[in-house]
Structure 1
Amino acid sequence: MMKSILFFLIFSVSAALSAQTLTLTEQQINQHLTTQLGRDFPINLGSWLKAGVRLADIQVALGRQEADKARVSGRAVVILEQGGVRRDWDISGDFSARPRFNSEEGALYLDEFELLGYRLNNQDASGQANFIMPLLLQSLAEYLAQNPVYRLDEQDPLQRQLKESVLGLSISPGQLTLQGLE
Structure 2
Amino acid sequence: MGRSHRATMVCCGTNPFYQVVSMILQSMLLSLAMLGQGSYDINEQQINQYLQSQVQVDKQLELPGIIKAHVQLEQSDVQIGRQSPDTARVFGKGKLKISLPDQTQYDALLNMTYEARPRYDKAQSALFLDNMKLIDYKLEPAAAEQKFGFMLRMLLQSMEKRLETQPVYKLDDKDPNQAWLKENLLGLELSPGKIRLLTKPKDQL
Fold in common (TM above 0.5): yes
User: Which residue of the partner structure matches residue 40 of structure 2?
Assistant: 22
User: Which residue of the partner structure matches residue 62 of structure 2?
Assistant: 44
Give the distance between the partners of 2:138 and 2:69, measured in 1 at CA: 18
After superposition, where does 1:97-108 map in structure 2 within 5 Å? 97-101=116-120
Runs of 4+ in structure 1 over 4 Å off: 102-109, 139-149
Equivalent position to 1:91, from 110, 124, 137? 110
After superposition, where does 1:157-176 map in structure 2 within 5 Å? 161-176=180-195
Give unpaired runs (5+ residues) of structure 2.
1-36
If you compute each CA radius of gyration, which structure gives the higher value, 1 or 2? Answer: 1
Distance 1:61 1:160, change over 3 A: farther
Give the distance between the partners of 1:77 and 1:141, measured in 2 at CA: 21
Give the distance between the partners of 1:30 and 1:160, measured in 2 at CA: 27
Aligned residues: 160
User: Which residue of the partner structure matches residue 95 of structure 2?
Assistant: 77
Q: Deviations over 1:10-55 (max 9, x none)?
A: xxxxxxxxx8111122233334434332x42111210343221111
Distance 1:176 1:104, change over 3 A: same
Give the distance between the partners of 1:96 and 1:103, measured in 2 at CA: 22
Q: Deviations over 1:136-171 (max 9, x none)?
A: 33367689866859x9xxx997x8733542212111
Give the distance between the partners of 1:103 and 1:32, measured in 2 at CA: 26
Query: Percentage identity across aligned positions?
Result: 34
Give the distance between the partners of 2:55 and 2:46, measured in 1 at CA: 14
Q: Which has the larger share of strand?
A: 1
TM-score, structure 2 normalization:
0.62
Secondary structure of 2:91 counterpart: strand
CA contact (8 A) 2:80 2:89 kept: yes
Q: Which has the larger share of helix?
A: 2
Letter in 2 for 1:168: G
User: Which residue of the partner structure matches residue 56 of structure 1?
Assistant: 74
Secondary structure of 2:64 counterpart: coil
Give the distance between the partners of 2:46 and 2:127, measured in 1 at CA: 12
Letter in 1 for 2:87: K
